[in-house]
Amino acid sequence: MDMKTKLLRIFSAVIAFTLVLVMSSFVAFADKDEEVETEDEEIVEFEEEMICNGVFIDDIEIGGESVTEAREKVTSYLSELLNKKVVVKANDKEVETTVEKLGASFTESDYVSQALNIGKFGNVIRRYKDLKDVENDKKVYEVEITFDEKKVDSFVKNEASKCNIEAKEPSVSVSGRLPASNASSSFILKEGVIGKCIDEDELKSDLNKKIKKWNKKDIKLEATVKEQKPKNDIETLRKCNDRLAQFTTNYSSSSSARCKNISTATSKIDGSIVYPGEEFSILDKIAPFTKSNGYAEAGSYSQGKVVDSLGGGVCQVSTTLYNAILRAELQITMRNNHSMVVSYVPVSADAMIASSASRDFKFKNNTDVPIYIEAYTSGKNVTFNVYGEETRPANRTIKFQNKILKTLQPGKDVITKDKTKPKTYREVTQSAHVGYKAEYYKIVYINGAEKDRVKVNSSYYQAAPKYITVGDKEEETASPKPTEATEAVEDVADDTTPQGARPGATTAGNTGAVTGARPTTRPSTVNGTMNNSAAATRPNSAGARPNSATTPNRTTNTNVATRPVN
């Protein structure tokens, strides 16, 4: 066999092999298409397959329906069940929810597949018998539902409880200012209201019983209510006869916005009653600090700077109340000092509040009778009077005094250049603040002699530098003529009046009232302590217990607050 013949045979074999592969591929694709068509046909046949007669899901008949039709019926029915209402009534009110919101779920949902298998197993006789049995006696699949017990409990506690009529404690209204003694004679008393509240345990039990025997209809329950009497009797308010303490601070240098905030917050506290064992929170009374709640933007402390914020100035209200509560000797449970000193009370005598930081002022009524708080503003003064039953001996008086442990000087001035202002421009945008580490003490006197000294708090106030803005605008100037002298421009001297509340404050009269800022170059001290105290004494036979005051030594200082903040 010559070479030419061999090559011809090899070429023929390759062509033949290629043809075989091509034909095989066509056959494979044809088989695949046929399989897909077969599967589609089987699905269509299954969906169109009929369920035997006599099959029910609860009372919904699906017998004689195709698989598609039966599934639509079942889905609609189950959805209808989940939307059934649960209604609770009490005190002529009602609350409503749905079965689904109580955490309802089905133990079985594919009833159609089960129904389709009827008459599909066993020999011909068995299959015929199964079909006839269902046709004559019916086959009913009962829908079983479970509920989430936690969601049931939550509904009772959070929703059903809206039907409650809460008990109300006796209340007091006052016309005009209260006298220092026999204050309750000016009270207009109003009886409390007996509450009617749902018996939650019984309602939970009744709901669970209804659920276990649910008839697949709306659930309606009339809840049992229990009477809830006020915790206090109106007669207990008649014991609020004595003014236990009074304290006043002045805000005459405040902006109109700050004045508004002080007045708004004070009015929200006026008339508060704190019953024995109760805790008072000032934030609960005066927050939120929004325009809709009566507040405006005014100065407040933030990260070592004075900034405008809604409610700026309310800290003077909390501080004034704090000092009144100190002198009433009630139990203080929360108090925070400012980040920097304030001008309206001595160092360590302040009480800062901030709802965003959960900084509150709280106290507890640790006496046996209610405490009544009278609060008002008058002539740029804010005053708090605390009334209760005076039990302290007549020969016992108290004063308050701070002790400066450390003084922190402000850092170097912070200069900001403003290229839009001329170079002669200079503005002190924030004065310097002296920092302190201090303590506050209550001093107890018996017959005028000191018997005890109790530390009330410890406070730390950071120092802050002076912030100054200076002009840095480039100005075009004409060259002077050789015969003219150039006028020298003198730099504006630095402002040497840094802001910082003086560690001591002047108290006036027998009210313990702070009369305003008194600048000092350094804390006036007596034996290492600040000599500014406000005494609280028991009312004499003629009336209220006066708060005597001592005036600190005074020296001149430039640390004067340009405006009160917080």
Q: What is the dihedral of CA 219, 222, 224, 227, to 10 degrees?
A: 140
Same domain, residue pair 359 and 469: yes
Which range of residues forms the domain containing residue 155?
A: 149-237
Closest residue by Cα to residue 369 from 314, 425, 315, 330? 330
Is residue 322 within 8 Å of 281, Cβ to Cβ?
no
SS (H, E, C) 260-293: HHHHHHHHHHCCEEECCCCEEEHHHHHCCCCHHH
- Residue 203 in any domain: the answer is yes
Q: What is the pLDDT of residue 137?
A: 80
Note whether 327 and 401 are same-domain residues.
yes
**How far apart, in whole angstroms, are the C-alpha atoms of residue 57 and residue 515?**
84
pLDDT, position 53:
85
Largest interatomic CA distance in the chain: 149
- Is the same domain home to 467 and 525? yes
Instruction: Report yes or no: 514 and 345 within 8 Å, Cβ to Cβ.
Output: yes
pLDDT of residue 174: 83
228 part of a folded domain: yes
CA gap 431, 468 in Å, rounded: 8
Within a domain: 44: no
| CB contact burial 101-116 (16+ within 10 A = b; e otherwise) | bbebeeeeeebbeebb
Residue 402 shares a structural domain with residue 513? yes
Same domain, 462 and 377: yes
- Is 7 contained in some domain? no
pLDDT of residue 172: 86
pLDDT at 295: 97
- Output the pLDDT for position 183: 80
**C-alpha closest to that of 317 among 270, 280, 387:** 270
- 120 and 206 housed in the same domain: no
Q: Report DSSP state, residue 159.
A: I
The residue ranges of DSSP E strands in 8-160, in sequence order, are 55-57, 60-61, 85-90, 93-98, 105-106, 139-141, 145-146
Answer whether residue 566 is part of any domain: no
Specify whether 274 is located in the same domain as 222.
no
Residue that is written with structure tokens 């009269």 in the block: 509
Burial 318-354, CB ≥16 within 10 A → b, else e? bbbbbbbbbbbbbebebbbbbbbbbbbbbbbbbbbbb
CA dist 18 and 269 (Å) reads: 99
What is residue 520's predicted lDDT score, i.e. its pLDDT?
35
- At which of 190, 220, 237 does a domain end? 237
Q: Is the pTM of this model over 0.75?
A: no
Domain membership flag for residue 426: yes
Q: Which of 207, 237, 267 is the last residue of a domain?
A: 237
Domain assignment present for 30: no
Burial of 156 (0-12, 13-18, 19+ CB in 10 A): buried
Q: Are residues 304 and 164 both part of a single domain?
A: no
**The dihedral sign for the CA sequence 267, 270, 274, 279:** positive
Peptide bond into 552 cis (omega under 30): no
- Tell me the CB-side half-sphere exposure of residue 11, using CA atoms within 13 A: 6
Residue 529 sits in the same domain as residue 407: yes
Task: Assess whether 166 and 178 both reside in one domain.
Answer: yes
Q: List, edge to edge, every strand of the sheet that includes 371-378.
A: 242-250, 381-388, 371-378, 272-274
Residues 221 and 260 in one domain: no
**Residues 21/26/27/28 CA torsion (nearest 10 deg):** 90
- From first to last of its 566 residues, what are the pLDDT tens digits of the chain? 566 666 666 666 667 666 766 666 665 555 555 554 444 444 445 456 888 888 888 888 888 888 888 889 888 999 999 999 999 999 999 999 999 999 988 877 678 888 888 877 778 887 778 777 777 788 888 888 889 989 999 999 999 999 999 999 898 888 788 887 888 788 888 899 999 999 999 999 999 888 888 889 999 999 999 999 998 888 888 888 899 999 999 999 999 999 999 999 999 999 999 999 999 999 999 999 999 999 999 999 887 788 889 999 999 999 999 999 999 999 999 999 999 999 999 999 999 999 887 899 999 999 999 999 999 999 999 999 999 999 999 999 999 999 999 999 999 999 999 999 998 999 999 899 999 999 999 999 999 999 999 999 999 999 999 999 999 988 766 655 554 433 333 333 333 333 444 444 433 333 343 333 333 333 433 334 444 444 444 443 333 333 333 333 333 333 333 455 66
Domain boundary pick from 237, 266, 290: 237
Number of domains in the chain: 3
**Does some domain include residue 49?**
no
Indicate if 204 and 309 belong to the same structural domain. no
